[in-house]
Chain A
Amino acid sequence: MTNRVGIVEVAMTPGAETKEYFLDQVFKISKEVLDKAGVARDDVGTVISASSDVFHGGMSCANSYYWDAGAAFLKNGSRQDGESLFAFIYAVMRILSGNYDTALVLGVCKGSENPDDDVLTHFFTDPFYQRQVGLNETIAAALQKREYMDRFGITEEQCAGVVVKNLKNALGNPYAHVKKKVSLDDVFASKVFMDPLKEIECAPKSEGIIAMVLAKEELAKKLTDKPVWFKGYGSSIDGFYLGDRDLLEGELPNAAKRAYDAAGIKDPRKEIDVAELCEPYAFQEMLWCEDLGFCERGEGGKLLESGATGVNGDIPVNPSGGVLAMNPYVSRGLYRLAEGFLQVRGQAGERQLDKEVNTALAHSTHGFAGQCHAVAIIGS
Chain B
Amino acid sequence: MGRPVAIIGSGQTHHGRRFDVTYPELIKEAVDAVFENTGISPDDIEGVVSGTMPSMMEGVALTHFYFAEVLRSVGKPIMKTETCGSTGISLAFTGYYWVASGMADLVLVVGSEKMNEGDSQATMTTVLEPFYQRSFIAGAPGVFSMQSQEWSVKFGIPEEKVRAAATRLSVDHHNDAFDNPYAHIKKKLTEDEVNNARIITYPVRLWDVCPNSDGACAMIFASEEMAKKLGLTPAWVRGVGYSGEEYWFGDSEKAIWQCAIDAAKQAYGMAGITNPRKDLDVAEVYNPFTFQELLYYECFGFCDFGQACDLTLKGVFSRDGELPCDPSGGTLCTNPIGATGLNRVAEAALQVTGQAGDHQIPGAKLSLAHAMGGVDQYNGVMILGSEK
The chain A residues found within 8 Å of chain B, CB to CB, are: 1, 23, 52-54, 58-69, 72-83, 86, 89-90, 92-99, 120-121, 123-128, 233-240, 251, 254-255, 258, 366-368, 371-372
Contacts and interface: CB of A to CB of B under 8 A. Distances in A.
A239 B69 contact: yes
A371 B74 CA distance: 10
B2 A81 contact: no
Interface stretch (B196-204, B224-232, B243-251, B314-322): B243-251
B126 A60 contact: yes
Given A97-B100, A123-B59, A239 B68 contact: yes
B18 interface: no
Contacts of A123: 55-56, 59-61
B375 interface: yes
Nearest to B78: A237
B63 to A, nearest CB: 8
B385 interface: no
Contacts of B266: 76
Nearest to A255: B77
B97 A94 contact: yes
22 contacts: A52-B61, A59-B128, A59-B129, A61-B53, A62-B82, A64-B84, A64-B377, A65-B127, A72-B244, A74-B245, A78-B93, A78-B94, A78-B242, A80-B80, A86-B79, A86-B80, A93-B101, A95-B101, A97-B97, A99-B100, A236-B77, A251-B75
Interface residues of B, number: 66
Contacts of B127: 59-61, 64-65
A99 B1 contact: yes
A83 B80 contact: yes
The 9 A-B residue pairs whose C-beta atoms are closest, nearest first, are A97-B2, A60-B54, A61-B84, A97-B100, A96-B101, A93-B101, A123-B61, A64-B374, A60-B126
B103 interface: yes
B56 A54 contact: yes
B75 A236 contact: yes
Contacts of A86: 79-80
Given A60-B123, A76-B266, A237 B62 contact: no
Contacts of B240: 99
A79 to B, nearest CB: 6
Contacts of A120: 61
B357 to A, nearest CB: 32
Contacts of A99: 1-2, 97, 100, 240
A67 B51 contact: no
B250 to A, nearest CB: 13
Contacts of A127: 59-60
Contacts of B247: 23, 64-69
A234 B22 CA distance: 31
Nearest to A60: B54
Contact of B83 (A58, A63, A73, A367): A63
Contacts of A69: 247
Contacts of B77: 234-236, 255, 258
B100 A78 contact: no
Contacts, number: 203
Contact of B80 (A1, A58, A82): A82
Contacts of A60: 54, 56-57, 84, 123-124, 126-127
Contact of A126 (B60, B78, B378): B60
Nearest to A83: B80
Contact of A58 (B68, B84, B103, B130): B130
A78 B65 contact: no
A66 B81 CA distance: 16
Contact of B61 (A53, A92, A235): A53
B124 to A, nearest CB: 8
A234 B97 CA distance: 16
Interface in B96-139: 97-98, 100-103, 123-124, 126-130
B64 to A, nearest CB: 7
B241 interface: yes
A89 B74 CA distance: 19
Kindly name the residue among A1, A61, A99, A124 whose own CB sees the greatest number of chain B CB atoms within 10 A: A61
Contact of A372 (B69, B78, B100, B375): B78
Nearest to B79: A86
A372 B65 contact: yes
Kindly name the residue among A68, A81, A125, A236 whose own CB sees the greatest number of chain B CB atoms within 10 A: A81
Contact of B56 (A53, A72, A254, A368): A53
Interface of B: 1-2, 22, 51, 53-57, 59-62, 64-69, 73-85, 90, 93-94, 97-98, 100-103, 123-124, 126-130, 240-247, 251, 258-259, 262, 266, 373-375, 377-378
B259 A371 contact: no
B94 A90 contact: yes
Contacts of A82: 62, 64, 80
Contacts of B67: 240
B109 to A, nearest CB: 13
B262 to A, nearest CB: 6
Nearest to B258: A74
B245 A68 contact: yes
Given A53-B54, A124-B65, A90 B60 contact: no
Given A81-B51, A81-B62, A126-B60, A76 B78 contact: no
A100 B186 CA distance: 42
Nearest to B241: A76
A290 B257 CA distance: 53
Given A79-B81, A97-B97, A239-B69, A372 B245 contact: no
Nearest to B60: A123
A61 B62 contact: no
A85 to B, nearest CB: 10
Contacts of B101: 92-97
Contacts of A67: 244-247, 374, 377-378
B96 to A, nearest CB: 8
Contacts of B245: 67-68, 73-74
B244 A77 contact: yes
Contacts of A124: 60-62, 65-66
B68 A96 contact: no
A233 B79 CA distance: 13
A240 B60 contact: no
Contacts of B243: 74-76
Nearest to B71: A237
B4 to A, nearest CB: 11
A170 to B, nearest CB: 27
A68 B246 contact: yes
B328 to A, nearest CB: 25
A2 to B, nearest CB: 9
A75 to B, nearest CB: 7
A54 B123 CA distance: 12
